[in-house]
Structure 1
Amino acid sequence: MPESPDPPAAPGRRRPPARWIALREHAPVLAVIALGGAIGALARYGLAVLLPTQPGHFPVATFLTNVSGCFLIGILMVVVTEAWTAHRLVRPFLGIGILGGYTTFSTYSVEIRGLLGSGEAGVALGYLVVTLVAVLPAVALGMGLTRWAFVRRERAVEP
């Protein structure tokens, strides 16, 4: 796609390059993603400290992080797309930032590789399968419960 033309400059002023205009437009989104990511990563770290994983064992903290994060993503997506007209920065802050920083499928992959490397193929396979079997229904459950709650709330408000 061709780059958009620079906007006209005020008389006597040089117009800024299009890339600076784009950066200025996207800066608030990038800032809320960074802030949310820091918050989410701290929450994930806190859970990992509370539930440390012993070498060769099922990584409970990462499993709970990913399942709960997927559940929350399901809730968030219904709230911001179906139930509430959110400010344009809410979804990047909560979804990409906080929940993106909180969930950790990269750590999930590294832990599976570590379990395989330490000869714990059964634990690795169990972790792989149980996580996939748990996170997808977690999203659906979060979405379903949120839709149910909003329908119930709307019926209670109707005269």
Structure 2
Amino acid sequence: MNPIILVMSGGAIGAALRFGLSRALPVSAAGWPWPTFAVNVVGGLCMGVLAIWLLRGDSSAEPLRLFLGVGVLGGFTTFSAFTLEMAQMVQRGQTGMAAIYATLSVLLALGAIFAGMTAAKAVWA
């Protein structure tokens, strides 16, 4: 299948999932951005599992990497919303919250990737 179609269709699914989560976890204008925080941490976990699964090396790896990794997870997670929310916190004078949000987002998403990789290795080792 055409790589562009794989990425586009996966991206549409990921974006729809992120939109659904943003409706399920609404946030007030000055509150903690739970939807973005959640998608980036969950996306890290899923990417860790996917990375280990793809490293198993079967012949279907590249189309699945494009569809799931670049498309679905690329559309699901969001760096642009993360940075916008941090900028809005700073503009509202919530610099402490912005710093905590940035730190926790990066550390927990990174930790989630390693947790996903560890779990996947335990399953497929």
Question: Larger helix proportion, structure 1 or 2?
Answer: 2
Provide runs of 4+ in structure 1 moved above 3 Å: none
Alignment of 1:93-108 (within 5 A): 93-108=67-82
* Structure 1 equivalent of residue 29 of structure 2: 55
Q: Post-superposition shift, 1:88?
A: 3.0
| Structure 2 counterpart SS, 1:82 | coil
Q: 1:57–1:123: 8 Å Cα contact kept in structure 2?
A: no
Alignment of 1:70-149 (within 5 A): 70-82=44-56, 84-149=58-123
Measure the CA separation in 1 of the matches of 2:105 and 2:2.
34
Query: What amino acid sits opposite 1:44 in the alignment?
Result: R
Measure the CA separation in 1 of the matches of 2:58 and 2:121.
12
* Structure 1 equivalent of residue 43 of structure 2: 69
Quick one: percent identity of the two aligned structures?
32
| Structure 1 counterpart SS, 2:62 | coil
Greater RCO (CA < 8 Å, at least 6 residues apart)? 2
Q: Which runs of 5+ in 1 are unaligned?
A: 1-26, 152-159
Q: 2:86–2:101: 8 Å Cα contact kept in structure 1?
A: yes
Measure the CA separation in 2 of the matches of 1:61 and 1:74.
20
Aligned residues: 125
* Structure 2 equivalent of residue 46 of structure 1: 20
Q: Which runs of 5+ in 2 are unaligned?
A: none
| Structure 2 counterpart SS, 1:111 | helix
Measure the CA separation in 2 of the matches of 1:89 and 1:83.
12
Measure the CA separation in 2 of the matches of 1:29 and 1:136.
27
RMSD across aligned positions (CA):
1.3
Measure the CA separation in 2 of the matches of 1:87 and 1:99.
15
Q: 1:83–1:150: 8 Å Cα contact kept in structure 2?
A: no
Measure the CA separation in 1 of the matches of 2:27 and 2:53.
34
Structure with the greater alpha carbon radius of gyration = 1
